[in-house]
A and B are shown apart, each in its own frame.
Chain A
Amino acid sequence: MLPISLFVVAFGAAFGLAAVQKGLAPLDTILMSTLVFAGASQFATLDMWGAEVSVIPVMVVVFAINSRHLLMGASLYPMLKDVAPAKRYSLLLVLTDANWAIAAQDYQRGNRNLEVILGGGLVLWLAWILGTWLGVYFGGLLQNPKNLGLDMVLGCFLLAMALGGKKSPRILVAWVLAALASLAAWKWLPANTHVVAGALAGGVVGFFWLEKKPGKETAGETPT
């Protein structure tokens, strides 16, 4: 869990930096990391941040990116169904990619490792908050972040997340359609609908094109 936590601190710092550049107040940024605790979706909403923020696109984007939690939760159901509801849902508060991956692996080997969900989740949560704080603090000190290329942290982060996942012909077709739909919406539809259009276009490919063997893996995102 330690190497992953260090990664999470670094990603948190990148998020803090990007958020401050987008004009989010330091405390708001730290509050967002504390409450939302879902890196890629936080990064993605920064892209839609401005003097005014459209609510529906933000909700769709946060849901679309975090919908992998649905699959993670569903896969944990067998080991959680005998746990009392209060405890079950408390564990799920800190459910994220890394602690899910370990718990799911352990369960396949026959261990019901609830401690790693809770303990690992809490460590990752604190690492994410600490990282965000660092990024916010140092981001505030920089004079001209664009000269240093730091305005691209956001785009590079999202691209790295996408390319780090599983790649198959099906995913590539989904991406091409998503790219075309988002470009079309970006040109001709109201602001920020391009993300929704792209997400749905990609999802439709998955809906009609199933992989041959039932996939055991979920969207392969890296920690946070």
Chain B
Amino acid sequence: MTIETTTTGVLVLILIMTLVTLATRFGGVFIMSFVRISPRIESFINTMASSVLIAIIVPMAFEGDAGALAALSVTAVAMLVLKKPLPAIAAGVFAAAAVRYLF
């Protein structure tokens, strides 16, 4: 099922995203008032939450140009060294700009 990004289409998409997010904000407390979330489910959620980010980035790197690859590698190294997201992102963006300017 797809939605065209017309004026109403975009509003519907934003509304869907809002409702799904709301379900996650309310869900934890709501479920806990009936049953305890098991460690297994907690572990599933924990690994899924970061795996989804990896699943977006890896194909992005595969189809990207040299600038994209430079941006992602520099961000990764900067993040592992500095452990601060904002400088890491800035360094990545700068690397993309530099590579595209030079080559």
Contacts and interface: CB of A to CB of B under 8 A. Distances in A.
Interface of A: 7, 10-11, 14, 23-25, 28, 31-32, 35-38, 40-42, 44-45, 47, 49-56, 58-59, 61-77, 80-81, 88-89, 92-93, 95, 146-153, 155-165, 170-171, 174-175, 177-179, 181-183, 186, 194-195, 197-207, 209-211, 214-215, 218-219, 221-222
30 contacts: A35-B15, A37-B21, A47-B56, A51-B5, A59-B16, A67-B24, A71-B46, A73-B26, A74-B31, A77-B32, A81-B33, A89-B26, A93-B25, A158-B57, A160-B75, A160-B92, A163-B80, A165-B49, A165-B50, A174-B51, A177-B51, A181-B55, A182-B54, A182-B56, A198-B51, A198-B52, A202-B54, A206-B44, A206-B46, A206-B48
A195 B52 contact: yes
B72 A156 contact: yes
B5 to A, nearest CB: 6
Given A55-B1, A183-B59, A95 B25 contact: yes
A55 to B, nearest CB: 5
Interface of B: 1-5, 9-11, 13-18, 20-33, 37, 39-62, 64, 67-68, 71-72, 75-76, 79-80, 83, 85-86, 88-89, 92-98, 100-101
Contact of B53 (A59, A95, A161): A161
